[in-house]
Structures are given as C-alpha cells and as structure tokens.
Amino acid sequence: MSKESTVLIYGTNLAGYRVAYALAKMGYKTVMLNRGAYVDQYRNQVLAQLPLDFCWACGHMPQRLFIGLGAMQVLYNADLLEVSGEPGNFRVKIKKRDHYVNNFACTECEACVRVCPVEVEEN
C-alpha cells in the first residue's frame, strides 16, 4: 500500500485509536468513522493505554496528536453505506448526519422534534 493511500478505520474504540496513531506516525492519511456524535466514550481506555505526553485533565490528547501529525481526520455522526472494490483499492460511500439544527435553514416544521431521541423538559 502506498503512503498516498487513505486508511478508513470504522469505529473510534481503543483499537481504532491505536491503529490510527501507528499509521499516522508512519505517514499514512487516516480517517476514523464514528456513528456517534463524539469520541469520548473511550477516553478513559485511551488515557490508560497510550503512555504519551498529554494533559490528564482534559483527556483529548489522542485527537490533538493525530491532527498535529496532519494525517488524521475524524468523521462524527457518519454511517458507512457501501464498500466496493478489491483489497488495496476500496471505495466507500459515507452518509454524514448533522450534529444540530441550522437555525438559518429552519422552517419550524418540527420534523427534527419528531425524530430526536432526546427529550428535554421546558422551563
């Protein structure tokens, strides 16, 4: 595999972080795909497993480090729809979902309210 290739890692668990870090250090462009809106669900595992120089208080070293290497991208709220091709030459189709409602595009149709999994009490 050439270093111009991009590696897709599906999921943002501890194994994904470790592989992404190793590949980024070797110079490969790495994309981590996460179905959820954040990566912090594995923060404690990452903090315990990656003995590197970072801030224990914030715990965001891995993502900062990858981005600093210039070889890391994390896609949040994204679904892997299709994988095609052959070993060493894959193509993927990804659907990225919005993290929030764009107030400028909102028509107040309340479609987002009907599908939102979070309920909040009104004050």
User: Structural domain of residue 51, as residue ranges?
Assistant: 6-97
By percentage, how much of the chain surpasses pLDDT 70? 70
Domain at 12, CATH number: 3.50.50.60
What pLDDT does 95 receive? 92
**C-alpha closest to that of 17 among 57, 70, 76, 74:** 74
DSSP at 108: -
More confident site: 54 or 77: 77
DSSP states of 80-94: EEEEEEETTEEEEEE
In a domain, 90, yes or no: yes
In a domain, 110, yes or no: no
In a domain, 109, yes or no: no
Q: Provide the domain count of the chain.
A: 1
In a domain, 29, yes or no: yes
In a domain, 118, yes or no: no
The tens digit of pLDDT for each residue in 87-106 reads 888 899 999 887 777 778 88
In a domain, 121, yes or no: no
What pLDDT does 81 receive? 94
What pLDDT does 111 receive? 85
In a domain, 11, yes or no: yes
What pLDDT does 94 receive? 93
Other Cβ atoms closer than 10 A to 22: 11
In a domain, 107, yes or no: no
